[in-house]
Amino acid sequence: MKLLVVGSVAFDAIETPFGKTDKILGGAATYITLASSVLKIDSGIVSVVGGDFPQSDLDKLSDRGINIEGIEIVKEGKTFFWSGKYHNDLNSRDTLVTEVNVLENFDPKIPESMQDAEILMLGNLHPGVQLSVLEKMNKRPKLVILDTMNFWMDSAWDVLVRMIAKTDVITINDEEARQLSGEYSLVKAAKKIHKMGPQYVIIKKGEHGALLFHEGKVFAIPALPLEEVFDPTGAGDTFAGGFASYLAKKGLFDFDTMKSALIVGSAMASFTVEKFGTERLEEVTEQQMMERINEFRELTTFEVEV
C-alpha cells in the first residue's frame, strides 16, 4: 500500500549532554518517511520548505524512493526551524527557538501521484491544515492516522475535535491523552477518545513504551531499555513511521497487525535515538530491524505455569 505523509520537513539544531549540532535535517515527515524507506514502502511527502532548504536534503529523500513532488518550495521563504536543549536525563528539554516560517501559511497540495495513497499519516500540524488535506483527497484513504499534541488542544480545540472525528488511529502521549479526555486513568481516557472517533488509540509513554487500545482490548509494549540515549529528537515520529509502514506493508488494519506495527515502530525508534537527528535511521538495514524486533521478543516473552 502507498503511504502519504503530511507533516513538517524542517531544520533542527539540537544540544544534548553529548554534544550539539548546527542546523540539520529534521521534521516529522522526514523521520516518518525515512522509517518507511527502511521497510521499502512506497511513500510520499506533502510539506513546504523555504528557499534555504538544500537540494542535497531533498535528494537524500528522493534517493531513498520517497516521492517529494508534494514538497512545495517557497523560494523567498525560510524553512521551519526548531532548536532545543535536552536536560541531563534526556527525558525533558527546553525549546530555545521555534521559527514557524513557511509553515505559517502552509496550504498543502497533494500531487496527482499520491492521490491513490491508501494510508494517510497526518503528522503534528494545525488540525485545520490536517482537515484540509482530507478534503483535498479525491477519495478518503482507507486508513487515516493522526498525530497531534497539547498545543492544539489549547489553541484549536473545536477544529481538533472535528479532525479527530475523521481519524481511524490517533497517536498521542499519556499527558495529552489525559488532557484530551479529562480522565487520569489511561484506560478511561482511551474509552473517551474512542467515542470521539478513532477506533484505535495509541498512547505513547516515551521510555515506558506504549499502549494500544481497540474495542475494549489493550496491548502494551515496553520501550527497549537502552544503555544510552544519545538524542531523542524524532523518536516519536520514527515510531509513527515504522507503525504506519508496517500496516502499509501488510495491507491489513486489524488488531493483531496493529500490535505488530507497534513493535516495528518501537524497534525503529530505538535506532533513531542512538545518534543525532536522522543519522542512525538513515543507516538502518532490514537485517538490523529484524534483530531489534527479536530483542523485543526476548524482552517480553514469558511462560507461566502455576
Contact call for residue 96 and a copy of itself (CB under 8 A): no
Strands (E), the chain: 3-6, 10-16, 19-20, 24-26, 43-50, 67-74, 81-86, 93-99, 119-122, 143-147, 169-173, 200-204, 210-214, 217-221
Contact call for residue 260 and a copy of itself (CB under 8 A): yes
Contact call for residue 302 and a copy of itself (CB under 8 A): yes
Cell digits of residue 228 = 544510552
Stretch that binds a copy of itself, among 8-16, 82-90, 106-114, 146-154 (CB under 8 A): 82-90
Q: Which residue type is seen at 76? A: E
Contact call for residue 128 and a copy of itself (CB under 8 A): no
Least separation in angstroms between residue 297's CB and a copy of itself is 8
Cell digits of residue 155 = 489553541
Stretch that binds a copy of itself, among 7-15, 21-29, 96-104, 254-262 (CB under 8 A): 254-262
Contact call for residue 251 and a copy of itself (CB under 8 A): no
Minimum CB distance to a copy of itself smaller for 160 or for 203: 203
Contact call for residue 249 and a copy of itself (CB under 8 A): yes
Contact call for residue 281 and a copy of itself (CB under 8 A): no
Contact call for residue 175 and a copy of itself (CB under 8 A): no
Least separation in angstroms between residue 294's CB and a copy of itself is 9
Contact call for residue 209 and a copy of itself (CB under 8 A): yes
Residue closest to 269 by CA, chosen among 54, 17, 35? 35
Give, for 62, the enclosing helix (H) or strand (E): helix 55-63
Q: Cell numbers 498543502 label which residue?
A: 108
Least separation in angstroms between residue 258's CB and a copy of itself is 10
Least separation in angstroms between residue 299's CB and a copy of itself is 5
The helix/strand/coil state of 99 is strand
Residue closest to 169 by CA, chosen among 213, 109, 221, 129? 213
Q: What is the CA radius of gyration of the chain?
A: 18
Minimum CB distance to a copy of itself smaller for 17 or for 128: 17
Minimum CB distance to a copy of itself smaller for 22 or for 227: 227
Contact call for residue 180 and a copy of itself (CB under 8 A): no
* SS (HEC) of 169-186: EEEEEHHHHHHHHCCCCH
Least separation in angstroms between residue 190's CB and a copy of itself is 8
Stretch that binds a copy of itself, among 8-16, 52-60, 157-165, 224-232 (CB under 8 A): 224-232
Could you give phi then psi for residue 181, rounded to 5 degrees? -100, -20
The conformational region for residue 50 under phi > 0 = left, psi -120 to 50 = alpha, else beta, is beta
What residue ranges bind a copy of itself (CB under 8 A)?
39, 88-90, 184-188, 205, 208-209, 211, 217-222, 225-229, 246, 249, 256, 259-260, 262-264, 286, 289-290, 293, 297-306
